[in-house]
């Protein structure tokens, strides 16, 4: 039986903040990622994404001995040393005075069996800027250079920590086009992002983290369903505050004159009530978006945590 790409069990990483309180950056995380999966790691600021990825890359160690993190069946450090895992991080790793190709050649010379420099540059779409000085490259181009460097060891697992943070829309689209072209080789790709659209367009699977734990794990469609909310849009003539308060449980999310959009958990019951008990008409029911499901799941998890 082949081993998973990543196997995380009961992972804990605690830090001490400057005022002495304990921060549980990763708090009992269990996560298995199979080979060839493309997984997006989502979560608000401070959810524990970077800390988790740092442990997977062997850049930091778990806090206790019951925590376990295996990469391709071995330790993260073994996987890094064997060139089986590599990363595109948000910053660092590039010297502004060097030229693009020169940089790729220098890093390639550090590996016994690197991907040919020309191939890595072609895959990362940087051949056109081969002779440009790194400091003259845009943020998007620098990320593509980091991507070429990450490809050099021919890794089985590629980690991307917010690879498009700070890029404009075009540079982001360009970066993901390049990634998409490379994602067919059976590589396992794990990326942290704040852009839900990227997760939606690029990942097979979404892992949603909150306070160091996984609070939802599934395909985009499954996460939307887990969020449980639907939108009901209706024309409700002259609905005043009293009339709205009398409706079953809902959240009002938009109003344009008499056309009102509600977010509800039970759309059938809500729609039935509107049609039988009010003068509402022209109903439309749709699934909530991924970001609405995401906020709903995060607030539900935070409420449960506060209650405990």
Ligand X SMILES: Nc1ncnc2c1ncn2[C@@H]1O[C@H](COP(=O)(O)OP(=O)(O)OP(=O)(O)O)[C@@H](O)[C@H]1O
Contacts with ligand X by CB under 6 A: the residue count is 12
Q: Which is nearer to ligand X, 23 or 98 (CB)?
A: 23
Query: What is the spatial distance between Cα 221 and Cα 250, in angstroms, rounded to a whole number?
Result: 22
Indicate the burial class of 170 (C-beta count within 10 angstroms; 0-12, 13-18, 19 or more).
exposed
Distance separating the N- and C-terminal Cα atoms of the chain: 40
Q: Give the nearest distance from C-beta 44 to ligand X in angstroms.
A: 7
Q: Which is nearer to ligand X, 151 or 167 (CB)?
A: 167
Q: Which of 44-52, 65-73, 107-115, 269-277 is the region at the interface with ligand X (rule: CB under 6 A)?
A: 44-52
Would you count residue 43 as binding ligand X (CB under 6 A)?
Answer: yes
Would you count residue 165 as binding ligand X (CB under 6 A)?
Answer: no
Helices 100-108 and 139-151 pack at an angle, to 10 degrees, of: 20
- Chosen residue from 25, 216, 223, 239 binding ligand X by CB under 6 A: 25
Query: What is the spatial distance between Cα 217 and Cα 45, in angstroms, rounded to a whole number?
Result: 18
- Chosen residue from 11, 33, 49, 172 binding ligand X by CB under 6 A: 49
Q: From the CA atom positions of the chain, what is the Rg in Å?
A: 23
Classify each residue of 91-100 as buried b or exposed e, where b means 16 or more C-beta atoms within 10 Å of its C-beta.
eeebeeeebb
Would you count residue 23 as binding ligand X (CB under 6 A)?
Answer: yes
Would you count residue 46 as binding ligand X (CB under 6 A)?
Answer: yes
Q: Give the nearest distance from C-beta 45 to ligand X in angstroms.
A: 3
Query: What is the spatial distance between Cα 287 and Cα 229, in angstroms, rounded to a whole number?
Result: 7
Q: Which is nearer to ligand X, 143 or 263 (CB)?
A: 143
- Chosen residue from 6, 33, 51, 84 binding ligand X by CB under 6 A: 51
- Answer yes or no: are the C-beta atoms of 100 and 173 closer than 8 Å: no
Q: Give the nearest distance from C-beta 69 to ligand X in angstroms.
A: 14
SS (H, E, C) 17-71: CCCCCEEEEEEEEEEEECCCCEEEEECCCCCCHHHHHHHHCCCCCCCCCCCEEEE
Would you count residue 40 as binding ligand X (CB under 6 A)?
Answer: no
- Answer yes or no: are the C-beta atoms of 209 and 8 closer than 8 Å: no
Q: Which of 43-51, 149-157, 173-181, 290-298 is the region at the interface with ligand X (rule: CB under 6 A)?
A: 43-51
Would you count residue 28 as binding ligand X (CB under 6 A)?
Answer: no
Would you count residue 62 as binding ligand X (CB under 6 A)?
Answer: no
Would you count residue 50 as binding ligand X (CB under 6 A)?
Answer: yes
Q: Which is nearer to ligand X, 87 or 232 (CB)?
A: 87
Which residues here bind ligand X, judged by CB under 6 A? 15, 17, 23, 25, 43, 45-51
């Amino acid at each position: 039986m082949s081993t998973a790409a990543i196997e995380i069990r009961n992972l804990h990483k605690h830090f001490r903040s400057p005022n002495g309180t304990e921060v549980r950056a990763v708090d009992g995380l269990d996560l298995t990622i199979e080979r060839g999966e493309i997984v997006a790691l989502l979560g608000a600021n401070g959810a524990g994404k970077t800390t988790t990825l740092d442990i997977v890359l062997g850049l930091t160690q778990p806090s206790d001995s019951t925590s376990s993190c295996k990469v391709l069946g071995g330790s993260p450090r073994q996987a890094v040393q064997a060139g089986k895992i590599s990363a595109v991080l948000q910053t660092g790793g590039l010297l502004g005075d060097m030229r693009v190709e020169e940089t790729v050649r220098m890093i390639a010379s550090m590996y016994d069996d690197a991907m040919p420099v020309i191939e890595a540059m072609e895959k990362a779409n940087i051949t056109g800027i081969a002779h440009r000085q790194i400091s003259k490259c845009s943020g998007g181009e620098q990320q593509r250079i980091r991507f070429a460097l990450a490809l050099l060891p021919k890794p089985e697992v590629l980690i991307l920590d917010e690879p498009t943070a700070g890029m404009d829309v075009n540079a982001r689209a360009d970066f993901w086009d390049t990634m998409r072209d490379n994602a067919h080789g059976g590589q396992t790709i794990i990326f942290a992002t704040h852009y839900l659209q990227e997760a939606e367009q690029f990942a097979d699977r979404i892992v949603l983290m909150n306070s160091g734990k996984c609070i939802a794990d599934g395909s985009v469609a499954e996460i939307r369903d887990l969020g449980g909310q639907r939108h009901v849009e209706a024309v409700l003539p002259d609905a005043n505050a009293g009339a709205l308060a009398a409706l079953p449980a809902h959240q009002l999310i938009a109003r344009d004159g008499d056309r009102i959009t509600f977010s509800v958990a039970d759309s059938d019951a809500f729609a039935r009530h509107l049609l039988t008990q009010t003068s509402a008409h022209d109903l439309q029911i749709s699934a909530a978006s991924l970001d609405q499901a995401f906020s709903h799941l995060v607030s539900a998890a935070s409420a449960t945590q506060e209650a405990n």
